[in-house]
Amino acid sequence: MNQSAGWLGTVLGLMLLAGGAQAGGAGEPPPAVPGASAGCVPGYVRPDFAALERELNAARARWRAAGVRDYRYDFRQVAAPVLFPTVRVTVRGGAVRDVVLVAGQTGEPSAQARATVEERFVQIAQALAFQRAQPCPAVEVTYDREDGHPTRLSTAPRDLNVADGDGEWTLTNFTRP
């Protein structure tokens, strides 16, 4: 019995050590990943902010060249963990005229729902400036190939032990009346 108790103690001790290691316990940092910043999730690659700013400037130039002043689009926003209702934004003469819930949606629109494309560009520029200063940012932006209007902005922290903080908005069903 004494030998069985010894084995049981060894097995329990190993299980506790394994559990602590899996949970990041024992005060040990995770192993370093080549190319990752300290404190970022394994495999992290920092966004190329110079390229993101060039893309923003090119999209703005396409938008100005298109001269679009009247349009509408659907706006959907997630500010983790909150999913705001999708709204239809109508712009006339370069100013927001109406923001209404899309059929089947309920709730209050986000504070960012009411914006022109020009204001979306400003939001993107502000997000890039803010994210650039963060230790482990993730940023993705897409634009319409023809007229340059933004179609998606996604930002998130990629720090170790960060459970939320992701944010995203999308513009869909962009139409010119």
What is the C-alpha to C-alpha distance for residues 97 and 140, in angstroms, rounded to an integer?
A: 29
Sequence-separated contacts (24+) of 25-33 with Cβ below 8 Å: 30/160
- The dihedral sign for the CA sequence 153, 156, 158, 159: positive
- Per residue of the chain (177 residues), give pLDDT as tens: 444 444 333 332 322 222 333 333 333 444 443 444 678 999 999 999 999 999 999 999 999 999 999 999 999 999 988 999 999 999 999 999 999 999 999 999 999 999 999 999 999 999 999 999 999 999 999 999 999 999 999 999 998 766 667 899 999 999 998
Q: For residue 74, what are the β-bridge partners?
A: 88, 172
Helices 49-66 and 117-132 pack at an angle, to 10 degrees, of 170
